[in-house]
Amino acid sequence: MSQADLIPVADLGQAEATAELARLAFEIRFHDAAYYQNDDPAISDADYDQLRLRNAEIEARFPDLKRADSPSERLGAPIADGFKKVRHSRPMLSLGNAFNEEDVTDFLVGIARFLKLESDAPIAIVAEPKIDGLSAALRYENGIFVQGATRGDGEVGEDITANLRTIDDIPHTFADTGAGVGAGAKVVEVIEVRGEVFMSHAAFAELNRQQVAADKPEYANPRNAAAGSLRQLDPAITASRQLSFRAYAWGEVTALPAGTHSGVLAAMAAWGFKVQAHAICESVAEMMAYHGEMEAGRSERPYDIDGIVYKVDRLDWQDRLGAASRSPRWAIAHKFAAEQAQTIVEGIDIQVGRTGKLTPVARLKPVTVGGVVVSNATLHNEDYIVEKSIRVGATVLVQRAGDVIPQVVEVVKPGQAPFTFPTSCPACGAAAVRDEGEVDWRCSGGLTCGAQAVERLRHFVSRNAFDIDGLGEKQISAFFQAGVVEAPGHIFQLQARIAEKNHAPLRDWEGWGETSADNLFAAIKEKRAIPLDRLIFALGIRHVGQGNGKLLARRYETLADFEAALAPDNLQQLLDIDGVGEKVARGLLDFFADAHNKSIWDELVGELQVQDIERAATTSPVAGQTLVFTGTLEQTSRAEAKARAEALGAKVSGSVSAKTDMVIAGAAAGSKLKKAQALGVKVIDEAAWLELSAIQAANMEEETS
């Protein structure tokens, strides 16, 4: 849906905002899967960023409507089959986006507000071109490269050490040469150098020449080629692909050689790393000038860039700013404008998702947009098709930025007869319904709809849920068709159900053998032990996504406490959780109030060993406690105080109850303070909180050093 056709966020009513957040959650999840899982994106970078921006603006205006599966809580890429998993010692976060000068100004104003700086206080910013490639983390111990990994989902990546060793730009060892920042200092014991792996235009052209000569398909663009090359199981293939690397940040480190971001980059350069070129800006005008200069010259670069990244230079400020959900507060990406092309709509198909949503997808006459051949685009919903007059045969303008497949911007020439949205599910024939205030049609068949059942099961075994090796979409579909897996619990009864249904042993099925069957049963057995947050997310409850799965698991910590919270009269307790709105709370209660769903749940947990969520470090006296901030904080911002509390393992709530452990009262505290005093809840002032949190943060840092 183009920006011109959207209702401005300021004009949205509550029902409209709810519908928009639902649409955006689905859209972004769909496009994340296409980009990260398949290296085959389904919309443009610019339009993807607009989806996330609109989602964030609506959530800011309607915080109570924030969905459990909100994109603002998600960050993600898959773990490729064939690679060992690596847990990042520090999460690899993604970046928020700026689209214009106003956004850049807001970024700086937000930093000043968070840090409580004077309005005219200078903020030095490192500005660097954003390379369009694949993020990687390189771990060095005493100057020796010991392990390399992809970003993955931000917390767990793929071990691609052998492949990274083939890249000439990546040093196998490094030492201080006595020149540059950090001269004469001992090499840090541990440092994780983070940067971008990419392919130059020349290397990309050569690779595609080789592909054609070998009668193999060409790669669509350098980013996909780099991703495919880095994920080869044979390092010799990676070595032949002429990949490059530029360092731009770091993860775990025992000691930093400088107190600024630019200083650390200078040290890395002195150690032998190729560092992304950058500039220091001290105003919005300088940042915009640098952005304009880089955008004007992007076509002359030997590799693709799709924007500029701005980072706060002072590291002590970076530490204070921390991260908000999926991205750091101290950095933002300012994207370049999109590229456009015209093509023809050859057909419109309807896909059925796991929640029953009917999603129209345009089949396009293949067209090249900025070097990428694209052939389809999501059409979102019925209103989008009607408002844009999208019809079969229409000539449409599509756009892309970076390396992703476009979406329709506008109709240039009309097509044939108007498209009639189906009133029955194309998968099962059940009636399709569109509730008042909703933009989507949904199949009413529920779990009796094969498409929904299969999609729910696919979600259940997806990488951020149970992540069972060897059990993907193809296998789930086959097991469902055979009648051996029709509910999540059946996965853990697979061997017995195959026998009960009088099927041949799995090893005798087409595409299976004794080894692959044994490996699958072993993988299923391994995943009987599952963390509570993954279990909650795996259920696929509408409005309850990965972020809220973690939020609920941290709040209740054990399976028993989570189940106890699902009583029909427990709505208010759920609403008291900071970050859980009415949609999420009612979605949970409605799901478990359904007898069929409860039966599926009981069967499933009977097969599992659900792991409690680990409590935060016991050295912090507030770990596991529920805190409430009220009143005006004068020495720190509310956002920084909340972030510090959560970093110490506390739970921050928006309301005071008998289960509140502590209230931090700032100036002019009102009803929450009075309620805390009436309930006998411990109350401290801002100064006491700052002293307590500073001491505990220092203790925790000392423990981990």
Report helix, strand or coil for 35: helix
Amino acid code (one letter) for 689: W
Residue 47: which residues within 8 A CB-CB, separation 6 or more? 338, 399, 401, 406, 407
Cβ count near 61 (within 10 Å): 12
User: What is each CA distance from 588 to 74, 98, 256, 487, 583, in whole angstroms?
Assistant: 19, 34, 45, 19, 9
How far apart are the C-alpha atoms of 391 and 418, rounded to whole Å?
6
Q: In 32-180, which ranges are E strands?
A: 85-87, 96-98, 125-131, 134-141, 144-150, 156-158
Q: For residue 577, what are its two tokens?
A: 């959780």
SS3 string of 383-408? Answer: HHHHHHCCCCCCEEEEEECCCCCCEE
Residue 72: which residues within 8 A CB-CB, separation 6 or more? 52, 55, 56, 59, 66, 325, 326, 547
Residues 58, 64, 67: CA angle, nearest 5 degrees: 70
How far apart are the C-alpha atoms of 480 and 329, rounded to whole Å?
45
Cβ count near 281 (within 10 Å): 22
How far apart are the C-alpha atoms of 161 and 129, rounded to whole Å?
26
Q: Which residue has the tokens 């005219």?
A: 120
Q: Report yes or no: 501 and 482 within 8 Å, Cβ to Cβ.
A: yes
**Listed residue (68, 78, 75) closest to 25, CA to CA:** 68
Q: Number of C-alpha atoms within 13 angstroms, CB side, residue 628?
A: 27
Q: Is 274 a catalytic residue?
A: no
Burial of residue 129, with CB atoms counted within 10 A of its CB: 0-12 exposed, 13-18 middle, 19 or more buried: buried
CB burial string 435-469: b at 16+ within 10 A, e below: eeebbbbbbebbeebbbbbbbbbbbbbbbbbbbbe
How far apart are the C-alpha atoms of 341 and 347, rounded to whole Å?
18
User: What is each CA distance from 132 to 90, 98, 309, 387, 604, in whole angstroms?
Assistant: 23, 17, 12, 34, 42
Amino acid code (one letter) for 374: V
Q: Report yes or no: 112 and 123 within 8 Å, Cβ to Cβ.
A: yes
Q: For residue 18, what are its two tokens?
A: 């709810």
Q: For residue 230, what are its two tokens?
A: 């880095």
How far apart are the C-alpha atoms of 502 and 439, rounded to whole Å?
45
**Set 130, 357, 583, 675: catalytic member:** 130
Q: Report yes or no: 503 and 617 within 8 Å, Cβ to Cβ.
A: no
User: What is each CA distance from 52 to 46, 74, 515, in whole angstroms?
Assistant: 10, 11, 44
How far apart are the C-alpha atoms of 370 and 378, rounded to whole Å?
19
How far apart are the C-alpha atoms of 668 and 204, rounded to whole Å?
62
Residues designated as active site: 130
